[in-house]
Amino acid sequence: MKPLHLKHDWRLSLLLCATAVLSACDQLPSANNAPAVIAPEATFAKMIQKTHALREADAKAWVDDILSSLDDVKMPRTNESMCAVMAVIEQESGYKEDPPVAGLSTLLANKIKKMGSNLALRLALEVRLDQAMSTGKTFREGMKLVKTERDLSKWYTEFTESRYTSPILKYMGKSVDDVVSTVGSMQVSLDYARKVAPSLGQSSMNMRETLYTRKGGVLYGTAHLFYYPTHYSDMIYRFADFNAGHYASRNAGFQAMVSQLTGKPLNADGDLIEHEVENPNQVSKTQSAVMQLFAKKLPTMTVQSIAQDLALEKSLDFENTTTYQTVAQLYAQKYKKVIAQQIPKISLKSEKITRNLTTEWYANSVNRRYQQCLAVAQRANY
């Protein structure tokens, strides 16, 4: 077969548009098209009240915080954007600022137990567990009362303040962030919240406590959901990204195209490069498949150039790279379509998860809540 000569092909661009790769961001209203349509605030408050038995004032407060958060991330106030945030909150916490987690005290006890990797360390931890907390109870007794992530954070912070345990746990790299890294009503990653805070005009200090508030949890959850541009054709892909990481759905679509073009099985999980590997020169299965494809179709493309393109996996700019455009063009030529996005195939792993769940399950569950909310909101407009 002849090598592919990559050039701008208006037919490919038209095909990409048709498959939503170049469509308006999630087809949400913006300042450049139709006026935003949103139901009265009372409609959303009543939905929250009805399903979660909250007082009217509390339900209204949630609605106010969602609306102000949409403003903060420059997302138009629409039925779609409002219901999307509401669906995620309902899925993640059921409108609780600091949601309880089943079996959290047992999880904590097991983590402490695992830290005792040697006899001396284990003895030090056992001594600390029998010491008194500020509440008058021992840490061992207090551990059994841990119900929420905030409870855990407070217990763990006080536990590690000891002049004996603090250096031990610091040496082991077991800060409270290692124990619980996603918190609040929308279960936002602390790392993400701290990184995005400056761009939202917010302080990154005391972020854990900020996320335990209603306003903070909603603001950073809304940012994680909307504060990045995409060309998705449906809101469900943002829900998948909320669970799997930004652009995971776009990347999974890319992996699916590469897999079909090469006949090489790939797990379409949205990760285009290797993360946390001991050998920095180790290439991912996706990169290996792209290299195999380009060896025949675009031999002038260097391994370094492919790697640089794939490194943009967390950016919209990846879609403008030679690697993405070449794969899309090859796929369009063969199949007359482009896989612009696909829900990633990921099994969810967490000590807080006790069932066999996947990103697909998560996205569909949130989307079901979203569609129910949207139906009520749209009826209120007529």
- Amino acid 10: pLDDT: 40
- Amino acid 166: pLDDT: 67
- Amino acid 90: pLDDT: 97
Q: Would you tell me how many other CB atoms lie within 10 Å of the CB of residue 218?
A: 29
DSSP letter at 280?
T
Pick from 2, 80, 12: nearest CA to 377: 80
Going residue by residue through the chain (382 aa), what tens digit of pLDDT does each one get?
444 555 445 445 545 544 443 333 454 444 445 557 899 999 999 999 998 989 999 999 999 999 999 999 999 999 999 999 999 999 999 999 988 887 878 877 877 777 666 677 778 788 888 989 999 999 899 999 988 888 888 888 888 787 767 666 665 556 666 667 889 999 999 999 999 999 999 999 999 999 999 999 999 999 999 999 999 999 999 999 999 999 999 999 999 999 999 999 999 999 999 877 666 678 999 999 999 999 999 999 999 999 999 999 999 999 999 999 999 999 999 999 999 999 999 987 655 555 678 999 999 999 999 999 999 999 987 6
- Amino acid 31: pLDDT: 40
CB 230 within 8 A of CB 316: yes
What does 77-145 look like in DSSP terms, one character per residue? --HHHHHHHHHHHHHHTSS-SS-B-TTHHHHHHHHHHHH--SHHHHHHHHHHHTSB-TTSSBHHHHHTT
**Distance between CA atoms of residues 153 and 209, nearest Å:** 10
- Helix (H) / strand (E) element for 224: namely helix 214-226
What pTM did the predictor assign? 0.85
- Amino acid 121: pLDDT: 74
Q: Tell me, letter by letter, the H, E, C secondary structure of 18-64.
A: HCCCCCCHHHCCCCCCCCCCCCCHHHHHHHHHHHHCCCHHHHHHHHH
SS3 254: helix
CB 285 within 8 A of CB 266: yes
Give me the residues paired with residue 132 across strands: 138
- Amino acid 16: pLDDT: 54
